[in-house]
Amino acid sequence: MNFSNISLFDGIQEQDCQAMMDCFGMVLCRFSAGQTIFEYGTGNDQVGILQTGAASLVRIDRDGGRTVLEQMGPGSVFGEILAFPCVGTDSIWVQSDEESIAALIRYDQITKRCAKACEHHSRLVENLFDLMRKKAVALSERVEVLSRRTIRDKLSAYFSLLFVKNGGRAFSLPFSYSILADYICADRSAMMRELRNMKEDGLLETDGRRILLTDAVVS
């Protein structure tokens, strides 16, 4: 296993990684596209960290409505102990969007005192809490987008976030338009119609998933 590109293991020497996995009782699991990585509401006491690939946190309400609550990339953290308890008859799960690897750790293994007082144990806990901090930021951004009333306002708020993150008015969407519609909780047809209206109003240009905000927006 190559640990060098996994944010959970930042600052930990390669030779210590296996010892750390044994210390935490960590399990690395591989998932194909479409597979369920984690299901909420089952009493699962594990914390998961997506190591490679991409996944979506999906909710299906009792009427069958589907909402993408979060898009996940490497370093994303999930688990019942963190957030998103199931409400009523809603079903919530983390679904792999492509071939992915996730690390699963029992929560009590993270919070217990390490009998060996090993340095890599402490460093991994620090890394995990940093990933949780980044998750909180991502959730705050989602709330900022969803708090807008109209589809145009939601799209504008989301594009503004991407503008800041990418440091320029040209950027690529991190996911498909279908997932974008789920992300902003809008009907896809209505969202695509609003995107066309925004193009006609001179607010942006599109080329596939590539977005270019015009001077009218960023000036």
Q: Report pLDDT digits (tens) over 88-120.
A: 567 889 999 999 999 898 877 777 766 666 677
Q: What's the one-letter identity of residue 149?
A: R
**Distance between CA atoms of residues 111 and 83, nearest Å:** 17
- pTM for this predicted structure: 0.68
Integer angstrom CA distances of residue 216 from 91, 97, 151, 204, 219: 42, 35, 19, 9, 6
Which residues on neighbouring strands pair with residue 72, listed in sequence order?
A: 55
Checking if the pLDDT of 34 tops 70, the result is: yes
Distance CA(157)–CA(107), nearest Å, equals: 35
Residue 3 CA, chain-centre distance (Å), reads: 20
Q: What is the pLDDT of residue 67?
A: 80
- Domains in the chain, start-ordered, CATH in brackets? 7-130 (2.60.120.10), 148-218 (1.10.10.10)
122 is written with which tokens? 């402490």
**If pLDDT is split at 50, 70 and 90, which confidence band does 29 have?**
very high
C-alpha–C-alpha distance, residues 151 and 177, integer Å: 13
Closest CA to 127 of 28, 26, 10: 10
Query: What pLDDT, on a 0 to 100 scale, did the predictor assign at position 114?
Result: 65
pLDDT digits (tens, 9 = 90+) for 120-174: 777 878 887 887 788 788 888 888 998 999 999 999 999 999 999 888 889 999 8
Average pLDDT for residues 210-214, to the nearest whole number? Answer: 93
In whole angstroms, how far apart are CA 22 and each of 18, 76, 204? 6, 22, 51
Please give the pLDDT value at position 141. 86
Residue identified by tokens 């708020």 is 157
**pLDDT score of 196:** 95
Q: H or E segment at 125?
A: helix 119-146
C-alpha 78/C-alpha 55 separation (Å) is 11
Strand order in the sheet with 170-172: 170-172, 210-213, 204-207
CA distance 171 to 213: 9
